[in-house]
Structure 1
Amino acid sequence: MNRILEMVMQYPSVLAGVTIVSVAGFIFSILGVSWLVSWLPSNYFMLFDNPTSRPRLFRPRVQIVKNMAGAVLVCLGLVMLIVPGQGLLTLFLGLVLMNFPGKRKVIRFLIRLKTIQTSLNWIRRKKGRPPFVFPIFKNR
Structure 2
Amino acid sequence: MDTLFIWLGTISVATFVLSLLLLPWLVARIPSNYFTRPRHAHRWQVLLQPRAIVRNLLGLPVLLAGIAMLVLPGQGLVTMMIGLSIMMFPGKFELEKWVVTRNGVLKAVNWIRQRSQHPPIDAP
TM-score w.r.t. the length of structure 1 is 0.64
SS at structure 2 position matched to 1:45:
coil
Q: Who is 1:92 aligned against?
A: 81
Q: Is 2:66 aligned against 1:77?
A: yes
- How has the CA–CA distance of structure 1 residues 20 and 89 changed in structure 2, closer, same or farther, with 3 Å as cutoff? closer
Please list every run of at least 4 consecutive aligned residues from structure 1 whose deviation after the TM superposition is greater than 4 angstroms: none
Report the residue type matching 2:39 in the other structure: P
- How has the CA–CA distance of structure 1 residues 26 and 79 changed in structure 2, closer, same or farther, with 3 Å as cutoff? farther
Deviation at residue 33 of structure 1 after TM alignment: 2.4
Identity across matched positions, percent: 35
Q: Structure 2 stretches of 5 or more lacking a match? A: 41-48
Q: Would you say how many aligned residue pairs link Structure 1 and Structure 2?
A: 115
RMSD: 2.5
Q: Who is 1:116 aligned against?
A: 105
Distance in 1 (alpha carbons) for counterparts of 2:25 and 2:58: 14
- Equivalent of 1:130 in 116, 119, 124: 119
- Equivalent of 1:15 in 5, 21, 27: 5
After superposition, give the CA deviation of every residue in 1:13-45 in whole Å (9 maximum; x if it has no partner): 112101111111101111122221111211112
Deviation at residue 104 of structure 1 after TM alignment: 2.9
SS at structure 1 position matched to 2:88:
coil
Report the residue type matching 1:130 in the other structure: P
After superposition, give the CA deviation of every residue in 1:79-99 in whole Å (9 maximum; x if it has no partner): 4434243x3344234323321
Deviation at residue 65 of structure 1 after TM alignment: 4.7
Q: Structure 1 stretches of 5 or more lacking a match? A: 1-10, 53-58, 136-140
Q: Who is 2:33 aligned against?
A: 43
Q: Which has the higher contact order (CA 8 A, sep 6+)?
A: 2
SS at structure 2 position matched to 1:44:
coil
After superposition, give the CA deviation of every residue in 1:37-79 in whole Å (9 maximum; x if it has no partner): 11121111223xx224xxxxxx844x44543443344234324
Deviation at residue 124 of structure 1 after TM alignment: 1.6
